[in-house]
Chain A
């Protein structure tokens, strides 16, 4: 069983939803980021999403754009992002890690080389924003062959007719983007999202996690009540951007995790 499947199975046994946190690899620098990543599971994070920095993050709002700029400015690359995963895995072999980013850096490294490196480093899943199902031959299918989950984003614009196509080659879990828009802007509304999650769950056996627009422990709790997991990114990244200490950042993560788990 994959680390992702094992995690959802054990959460289900406990009757809990997953708390998924996102931070940008290399933000504000490699060593500080590694310290934060190592502190995430003890703070209650079930699945770690690690952003791979890109110069042109078209689906991201200002908080994550700035995080990418900080990371790139500190010398982060895709190869160093994989190195960070490798070092983390030396001390943690159970917490799933999902890389989230854009296709060009992967394409630039070469899909085969990237997948081999990612597998070796201990990456469990990929979320690549600019690869819709229409482009599955690029990375989704080769990743599946390597046993790496390709986690798809579904959105409010994904109607019932299109949903099966979006589900088709996806694995691990489904990431429901709660708003039309970019990361870290609008506030997610659990009441409005619940029917959408139900619609997706009717079409798939995979767990459904909800992200984009979850900023507080209370919202994390509300979303965790209607979905299999809640994802928080920008709100954490923003605190890193403000220069908060590692322990303060992890303290906030713990509050979010408590919200999602309660």
Chain B
């Protein structure tokens, strides 16, 4: 998009665009703030001391590198391609979210901000933000849809233990979209001391690029880990997508390796059709403008945003990161979807075959793997991002399986 026309890794342009997507669609009050953030991030990006601090924290606080694990029994079960799991669920706080939070909080500290706000869906980003705020002694306020507060109560309690204030959002249907609206309303009201720590590769520029850059540690590690174990590149990558930060983190370092097939899996809810009871923005939406960026959105004919549905609170968002939208438009990444039921089956399968309880979000990636992996040859190497652990989901899974705890 800039100097090297043959690369998929150069975006965004100076306006924060990825093709027609991205941009800075925010109110004037916020514009000076995101310009300042962009300047600070551009400086930090090339500052060795910033990355040295990140690496120390990633190693000693988060527990990176996360393992790249050959899932032998899962591979045998399907009898197809060789499946590797990128174990980001083993990170401190149980998901990939902390990779990004550390980066943003270090930036916030450099900018002299004392109050951190965040939105959260499943609660993983909220927990990660509350955790890092506790570590650095920063005030933390997390906005969470009321529906999500109810279905993710363990994470709500974790955030409170970590000292965060959790504000349930009742506007709309009380999910991630509404939490993000409320976080932006808070930000516009408390501009001086507040840093908005966005949890995914969405929002106004520079957030999509910045969050991606903090998450690409996933793909960079995968690259050398697979080289170490198999001596070559993967043949395919699979990751689930709500906003798409774990997927972008895995995919981005491989975008220019044309031999690598890349698949993002959206939440198909009750099925991607006219009822719109899903959260598959690319498969079932069209481009629009929300939360500071242009991207594929679930919306009606008038451009009103639809609520969507997913069994997974972390994927229940009517948009997707703008870089994913661009990668879809140019055809570099394939975007598919699986239903709630398929994700639930995959959730149970991984428990039974590998002794790993995956997050419902990551179960969507596994469910798509189940569809294609049996037909792939035994020498095909597939890496699946296990972006989060499922401990937080056991209560809602029990409910879906009609089990009383």
Please list the residues of chain A having a beta carbon within 8 angstroms of any beta carbon in chain B: 54-59, 61, 65, 72, 77-79, 102-109, 129-135, 152-159, 162, 166, 177, 180-182, 185
Contact = CB atoms under 8 A, between A and B. Distances in A.
Contact of A180 (B15, B29, B172): B29
Contact of B28 (A55, A107, A155, A185): A155
Contacts of B190: 180
23 contacts: A58-B27, A61-B185, A77-B302, A79-B302, A102-B289, A104-B288, A105-B303, A106-B303, A108-B302, A130-B25, A130-B289, A132-B25, A132-B31, A135-B23, A155-B27, A155-B28, A157-B28, A157-B30, A157-B32, A177-B28, A180-B190, A182-B189, A185-B189
B18 to A, nearest CB: 15
A104 B184 contact: no
A132 B302 contact: no
B304 A54 contact: yes
Contact of A177 (B29, B184, B288, B299): B29
A258 to B, nearest CB: 31
Nearest to B36: A157
B302 A78 contact: yes
Contacts of B24: 132, 134-135
A103 B304 contact: no
A131 B301 CA distance: 21
Contact of A104 (B27, B191, B305): B305
A135 to B, nearest CB: 6
A5 to B, nearest CB: 23
A130 B32 CA distance: 14
Contact of A158 (B32, B292, B299): B32
A103 B25 CA distance: 8
Interface of B: 15, 23-33, 171-172, 177, 181, 184-185, 188-191, 288-292, 294, 297, 299, 301-305
Contacts of B177: 56
A158 B23 CA distance: 19
Given A58-B185, A107-B288, A157 B29 contact: yes
B31 A134 contact: yes
A185 to B, nearest CB: 7
A106 B304 CA distance: 10
A81 to B, nearest CB: 10
Contact of A105 (B25, B28, B304): B304
B205 to A, nearest CB: 9
Given A107-B288, A134-B15, A58 B181 contact: yes
Nearest to B23: A135
A159 B303 contact: no
A189 to B, nearest CB: 16
B28 A158 contact: yes
B29 A155 contact: yes
Contacts of A133: 31
A59 B29 CA distance: 10
Contacts of A57: 181
Given A153-B28, A185-B189, A55 B172 contact: yes
Contact of A135 (B25, B299, B305): B25
- What is the interface of chain A mostly: helix, strand, loop, or mixed? loop
Contacts of A185: 189
Contacts of A182: 185, 188-189
Given A153-B27, A162-B32, A180-B189, A56 B305 contact: yes
A156 B190 CA distance: 12
Which 9 A-B pairs have CB atoms at the shortest separation, nearest pair first? A108-B303, A105-B303, A181-B189, A77-B302, A155-B29, A130-B25, A132-B31, A104-B303, A55-B305
Contacts of B302: 77-79, 105, 108-109
A256 to B, nearest CB: 24
A131 B181 CA distance: 16
Given A104-B303, A107-B289, 11 more contacts: A58-B184, A103-B25, A103-B289, A108-B303, A131-B25, A132-B26, A157-B32, A158-B28, A162-B32, A181-B188, A185-B189
A105 B300 CA distance: 10
A156 B292 CA distance: 20
Q: Which has the most chain A C-beta neighbours within 10 Å: B26, B29, B171?
A: B29
A131 B204 CA distance: 12
A211 to B, nearest CB: 13
A78 B32 contact: no
A88 B303 CA distance: 24
A134 B12 CA distance: 15
A243 B335 CA distance: 47
Contacts of B32: 157-159, 162
Contacts of B184: 58
Contacts of A77: 302
Q: Which has the most chain A C-beta neighbours within 10 Å: B23, B184, B297, B303?
A: B303
Nearest to A159: B32
Q: Which has the most chain A C-beta neighbours within 10 Å: B27, B177, B184?
A: B27
Contacts of A79: 302
Contacts of B299: 104, 108
A183 to B, nearest CB: 10
A152 to B, nearest CB: 7
B28 A154 contact: yes
Nearest to B288: A104
Contact of B292 (A65, A130, A152, A155): A130
A259 to B, nearest CB: 26
Contacts of A152: 28
Contacts of A55: 172, 304-305
Q: Which has the most chain B C-beta neighbours within 10 Å: A56, A106, A135?
A: A56
A79 to B, nearest CB: 7
Q: Which has the most chain A C-beta neighbours within 10 Å: B26, B289, B294, B301?
A: B289
B189 to A, nearest CB: 4
Q: Which has the most chain B C-beta neighbours within 10 Å: A55, A57, A152, A181?
A: A55
